[in-house]
Amino acid sequence: MTIEEQIKKINSSLATKGYKLTGQRDATLRVLLENEKDHLSAEEIFLLVRKKFPKIGIATVYRVLELLTELHIVEKMNFGDGVVRYDLRSDEHEHMHHHMICNQCGEVREIKEDWLQMLEKRLEKEFGFTVTDHRLDFIGSFHSCDSHSCKHSGKAAVS
């Protein structure tokens, strides 16, 4: 699905609940869609959105992110560096993507398969617990980061 198509679809979701796709919301959404893999913080999102929409205030960005969280379009995540990051849940892999977090270079790479269906059935049976969502992160390191100096941007290492 192209970004335009995704925007269009999200616009429908907004409309259903009586919300409008304003310029600020559109710009924020584009930043999220264009940086899907980056798990940006509110501050980072704000700085990027401001390039598209200079007069936006950070309060608006927070309000947009809260709105998108409500609609389950993004999800708040915390990778241990103390900052809230926003993770886009695009249709293709909603409810089924996991993370590998490298503690050498800080990269957060996504795994776009759902590895947990079996386990979720087990929770249902053994605990009477119905799963509606899950979160799975692996912390460790890529061999390519261990062996030679890592090419990825040196974000803060995790824990």
CA–CA dist 67, 37 (Å, integer): 20
Q: From the CB of 129, what's the least distance to a copy of itself, in Å?
A: 5
Shortest Å distance, C-beta 112 to DNA: 26
In this complex, which beta carbon is closest to DNA, that of residue 22 or of residue 117? 22
Select 63 or 152, whichever has its Cβ closest to DNA: 63
Distance CA 16, CA 142 (A): 43
Return the range that interacts with DNA (CB under 7 A); candidates 20-28, 96-104, 105-113, 124-132: 20-28
Chosen from a copy of itself, DNA, none, partner binding at 51 (C-beta under 5 to 8 Å by type): none
C-alpha–C-alpha distance, residues 73 and 76, integer Å: 10
C-beta of 14 vs 145, nearer to DNA: 14
- Return all residues near 87 (Cβ < 8 A) that are at least 6 apart: 39, 74, 75, 76, 77
Binding range to a copy of itself, per CB under 8 A, among 1-9, 14-22, 33-41, 132-140:
132-140
Q: Which residues contact 125 (CB under 8 A, 6 or more apart)?
A: none
Report helix, strand or coil for 124. helix
| Amino acid, res. 7 | I
In this structure, the chain runs to a length of 159
- Regarding 66 and contact with DNA (CB under 7 A), the answer is yes
Rank residues 68 and 101 by Cβ distance to DNA and give the closer one: 68
Contacts of 159 (CB under 8 A, 6+ apart): 80, 103, 139
> Binders of a copy of itself among 67-126, rule CB under 8 A?
69, 75-76, 78, 80, 82, 100, 102-103, 109, 115-116, 119-120, 123
Which position among 2, 149, 153, 159 is part of the footprint of a copy of itself (CB under 8 A)? 159
